[in-house]
Every structure is written in structure tokens, then in C-alpha cells.
Structure 1
């Protein structure tokens, strides 16, 4: 499928092998899209498709100008009551977006036209869109109905050294955090950054620590699956090589006791997954403080402006006085699909209402039980 207007040529890649071969051009475009997050790297998207994709449903929209890739949207078709086209990445991806060449006027309009050509029989559904995401410009360019709905809440900190993060806290909380930092120093915790060639083995160790850490406490089931492990091992190695990810191992006395995977872009560093020996709790070593101190130091040195805790408002995150930043959900449809868009919008709003009702009930229950106000994010998510 191809069209042409104003020197732009659009096409749709439906073949896995062809998508794999786009790595070089995709990476070049990603570097020219300032708002891209690590979840838009070719390594992450192609690995996710390899692990989770359904053959025959790949739809990668590509826009070229004078032979150069200037816009891209990696989608797949999902069947259901309302057929949708949604980004690759699924539930294990915190931010979805498209790629637009910042130096190419007209690339967004060309992508909107290409997406409209693909959306004749399905609603386009972009989940987990950051406020500054490139895809945010599409509703204004879209010739048809669109909807913008709330999605997950994320917590963010400025990417500054740990001392500056502690200085932002109330004095009593800052005092307790400094005591935790002194305990980390006294324990002799050392760290090392894992090289790309070591990533598969390091990811295996990280996932083993993650499983032990959450044993008996409700670990996310997907994190224990072979396909998730294979996805991380396949995706993270090239991401580390390209500077889009860091894998850090922490040790005491030569034994690895914790490991962390952080995803990195020029603007943002996000702590994606970690694992730690349960015995650290018995030694009163605060793992969250350990990981955040290292990530804050690395991010402030490397020039990121945002230290993201990614999706979720768990109470331990609120300890650091973060800013709440809401993701959005963008729905785009052709006029002929307005009834399908209405059905999908009603389904989403119903789920949002149910989620918020459960959160409110949980907070009220805790207040009655404990007799004290509950911090934001303490309910289920």
C-alpha cells in the first residue's frame, strides 16, 4: 500500500522480517524525535512483537520523504467487539507514541493521512500517552472524530543528585532518609553497570531476584513467564549498547544482592524493574533508597531532566514527594466508525469509573480502620 503527496510516500509494513530490517532507519528517526521514550526504540518494539504478536496483525505505518524515514507508528490489529489498531508494547509498556522527525515540517500531517488510510475498519487506540508525546498533535490534524481520555497516573522527580531530592522533603522525612543512606554506606554496597554482552545473564539474575523479593506477596504474573524473560533479554542488550537502557547490579561482599533495569532517553530515565534479596529487609537496608540514589546520580550526570517512577502511585513512591503526571488515551476514528468509537469510549469510561470507585472505597476503608488520612495512591491500581 502506498500513496504520495507533497513529496511524502507512505506505506504499511505487515511482515515481521521487513520490520526487523528497519532497525537502522528506525533508530535514526528515533534520535531525531526529541520526545521519544525508550519504549519507542526498535529493539523494544520488535522484541515485544516477537514475544507477544499475533501473525498477520502487524501494521507498521511508515512515512518517507526523499528516501528518508520521517514518521512511523508501530501498530497491530486487535479483534474484539470493536476492532482496534493499537501500538505494539501492550501492558508491559509504560508509554506509547509515534515517531516524528522534528526537522521535517509536514511529517505529522503525512502520518495522519497514512493512519486515516489504515483506519477504514478499526478505531486507532493509543494507550499511555505522555503529555508531551508526539502523537498528541494528531487529534488536531485528524479528519474525523477523536476522543481524549485519562489513563494511568505516573510519578516523576527532577533528575538531580540525591542530596537535592532529600532537600525537597519535609524535615522529618529527610532526616529518616539520610539515616537510610548512612546505613547503605555502612553496609558497603557496591555497584557495577552491566555491559551489553552480559545482559542476557544479568536479566536472568534480575528476574530471579525479583521473584524471590515478591514471593508470597503478589508478584505480577507476567514477570514470571518465559516470554517476558525472553523479551527483556532480546530487547535490553541492544538498548544497553545504544545507551537506551542501564542494567545495574549491586553487591555486598562480592555477592549480587539487587539488580535494576532503567530505561533511558535524552529527556527521561525510568526505573522499569528491579529485584532484591529478601534478606536485605532483615538487615534494614532500604532497596528503594539504594536504587533511587544511583539512578538520580546517573541521570543528573547524563543530562536527563526527568526521573520517572513510571506508572503507578504506590505509597513508597510518594515518600519522595514526586509530581503526579497523568498519561492520556487517544482514540481516532473515521466518520463511518463513529458508532464503534462511541461503544469503545463508553467501555473505557465504565472501567475508569469502576477503578476510581474501588480506589475511593479502599481509601475510606483504610481511614476507618487506621483512623488517619491515607496518602494518594494507596489503593489498588
Structure 2
């Protein structure tokens, strides 16, 4: 389907998607939002573990033969606020970290044409739902503007606050700028934990080392509260396969960084991370609850951050929602949002009216009444 200078197509089978790897990653390399969680390899593994019960609906925009736009989507039925909606949803779940559309730099007009394609899409849809888009996404403002210009109701709804650390300057200056009480606690725990055995910090990046370190990390996480809650990686075979396969690919590409802190011969904490471009992404962390009194997760973080400062990494991204242990490092924050673009029809209008008009007014009234 042609929209202006762009020809749009919808990828509906996994085999079609597999054939796009080179074109997809070339687009990402030249895109406005270059994230490891937008790589073809990431979506390939994600779909094989989490997406097969849905219908693939990846929308590509080409100018001539060159792919200039990609929306990694799936079509699924969802009941939201009691309403049955046909959603074009991002290829995301709780393990996806961050999402965005792929737009080649200089091809921002493809967003307008994408919205034109949606209006003429052969299959009906009620809601375009993009989860976990960073507020500072270079694509987000253009998408909201293009959708509204096309006559769609488009809104951003706050999802969570994610912390990150710019790593400019020196480690010594950064460390001395942290709260004295926190630094004192870290020194105290370092002194106490060595009574259990010497501390050793290592980072695995070789594919074989990464596989072994990840297995240790998964076992550590299973011992924690996540194991009891059923939310640990090992609790779900699909989740375990996803992380194992992705980190193996990341290791083969040179991005994987598996950090392990051991006390004597016992693994105590791990950080499953990615060094991608000039940023470090902390994808999964965990620790053995036996060592919780020693704050081994924070001890590991200290060693890892010191190393990243020395390597010249520009940013450490904690990923996920901010909490007290992350606040100790005095990070900056990046808001994340869910993007809602409503199709035409009574069900989308009802959902929009309730979520973005009625419910906020009721909350405001209740807040005033509480005062």
C-alpha cells in the first residue's frame, strides 16, 4: 500500500520477519532510537518465546527499496476496562525493558504516512498500544503529532520512572558526591563481608563465560524472594529460554556483560548487563538472600560502576522502576509511558472517554474531597 513517497507492507509471518534481519538492523543503525531492545535478534527471540499465540503485524515503510520505517507490532484481542478491543500492540511484555518505533534519521515524514496506512489497513483495529516508551524518545513527539493530525485521539499515559546515571567525569568525584551515610554503609559492609571470605568481582563477556555466569545468576535469583513469588527467570521455561538465548546472541555480538560477586567460593550477587554503543544496560540483577545483610548487590554495583567509569561508558541505565536501592546512587530519572492511539468506532471512543476524560475527573474530585 502506497502512502506518499512510501510503500507500506505488513509482515504477518515469522518466516517473513526472519528474512529481514540485515535490512532491519541497517535501519536501526541509522534510526533516531538505537536501542539493543529494538534489534532484529531481540524481537526474533522474543516472538519465539512469548508471541506465538498472537498474530504478527509488523508494519514496514520503504522509500524505493530502502526500509525507512518499522513498527514492531502484533495484533491481539484484549479486554480493557471491560471492553473487547482489537489491539495493534508493541512486541513487548514485562521483559522488554524499553520500546520505540524505528524511523531512519531524516525520514520523520514516514510517521505521517504510517498513520495514513493505519486508516486504510485492510484488517480493522481499535487501539494502537505502545508500551514502555521513554519520555525522551526522539520519535514520540512526532508520532503523537502525526496521529492527531490524522484525526486520531492520541495520548501518553505515565507507566513508571526509570533511573539512570550519566558517567561523565571521574569515579572519585562521583563517589565522593554520594551521601556520606551511604558511603559509610558500603565501607562497613565491605569490612564485615570479608570475614565470610575474600571478595572477588569478575565480568564475563566471552560467550562460554557468559553462559556459565548466567546459569549461576539464574540460580541465585531463584533463591531470592522472586523464586518464592514465582517471578524468577527459572520459574518459567519460556522466560529462561528467552534470557539464555538473548544473552548468548549478545555475547556473540560482543555486548554481553555478566558481572558476578563472590564471597570466598560462594556466588553472592550478579548483574546481567549489556554494553551497547556507549551505554550500559542493567537487564537483570539478583543476590543470594544469605548475603543480604552485607548489601552484596550494592557492593557489586560499586565495583561495576567504577569499572564503567574507567572504560569511558557514557551512561549506566538501571532499567525498570526506581526503588530505594537505586536512589542510593543519586541517579537522574527518565519517565516511561504507554502510548494510546485510538481507532475509529464506538469501542475506542468509549475507552478513550473513560480512561482519559472521566477517570481523571473522578480522581481529581476524590482528591479534593479528601482534602
TM bucket by the smaller chain? Answer: 0.7 to 0.9
Aligned equivalents of 2:186, 2:349: Cα separation in 1: 48
Deviation at 1:343, TM superposition (A): 1.0
Distance 1:34 1:261, change over 3 A: farther
Aligned equivalents of 2:227, 2:359: Cα separation in 1: 28
Q: Is the 8 A contact 2:219 2:234 kept in 1?
A: no
Pick the aligned partner of 1:238 from 229, 249, 261: 249
Distance 1:82 1:114, change over 3 A: same
Deviation at 1:340, TM superposition (A): 1.1
Aligned equivalents of 2:349, 2:308: Cα separation in 1: 41
RMSD between aligned residues: 3.3
Deviation at 1:15, TM superposition (A): 0.5
Q: Is the 8 A contact 2:226 2:232 kept in 1?
A: no
Aligned equivalents of 2:320, 2:113: Cα separation in 1: 31
Q: Which residue of 1 aligns with 2:143?
A: 138
Instruction: Specify the SS of the correspondent of 2:136.
Output: coil
Aligned equivalents of 2:237, 2:212: Cα separation in 1: 14
Pick the aligned partner of 1:158 from 166, 176, 183: 166
TM-score (norm 2): 0.81
Aligned equivalents of 1:158, 1:202: Cα separation in 2: 27
Q: Which residue of 2 aligns with 1:123?
A: 127
Q: Which runs of 5+ in 2 are unaligned?
A: 79-83, 364-371
Q: Which residue of 1 aligns with 2:283?
A: 272
Aligned equivalents of 1:178, 1:345: Cα separation in 2: 54
**C-alpha deviations, 1:245-295, integer Å up to 9, x for none?**
42233334455443321134436422121233333335x2x2222332244
**C-alpha deviations, 1:84-117, integer Å up to 9, x for none?**
1111121222211111112445343344434444
Deviation at 1:192, TM superposition (A): 3.0
- Trace 1:217-236 onto structure 2 (pairs within 5 A): 218=229, 220=231, 224-236=235-247
Pick the aligned partner of 1:312 from 313, 318, 321: 321
Deviation at 1:299, TM superposition (A): 3.9
**1:169 maps onto 2:200 in alignment:** no
TM-score (norm 1): 0.80
**C-alpha deviations, 1:176-223, integer Å up to 9, x for none?**
334445667883313031323454443332211111133676452565
Q: Which residue of 1 aligns with 2:91?
A: 88
Q: Is the 8 A contact 2:33 2:138 kept in 1?
A: yes
Aligned equivalents of 1:303, 1:65: Cα separation in 2: 37
Q: Which residue of 1 aligns with 2:51?
A: 53
Pick the aligned partner of 2:20 from 15, 19, 22: 22
May I ask how many residue pairs the two structures share in their alignment? Answer: 351
**1:98 maps onto 2:101 in alignment:** yes
Q: Which residue of 2 aligns with 1:37?
A: 35
Indicate the larger mover: 214-223 or 54-63: 214-223
Pick the aligned partner of 1:248 from 259, 262, 275: 259
Q: Which runs of 5+ in 1 are unaligned?
A: 356-381
Q: Is the 8 A contact 1:265 1:304 kept in 2?
A: no
Deviation at 1:124, TM superposition (A): 0.2
Aligned equivalents of 1:208, 1:353: Cα separation in 2: 47
Aligned equivalents of 1:79, 1:339: Cα separation in 2: 13
**1:149 maps onto 2:157 in alignment:** yes
Q: Which residue of 2 aligns with 1:325?
A: 334
Pick the aligned partner of 2:199 from 185, 188, 200: 188
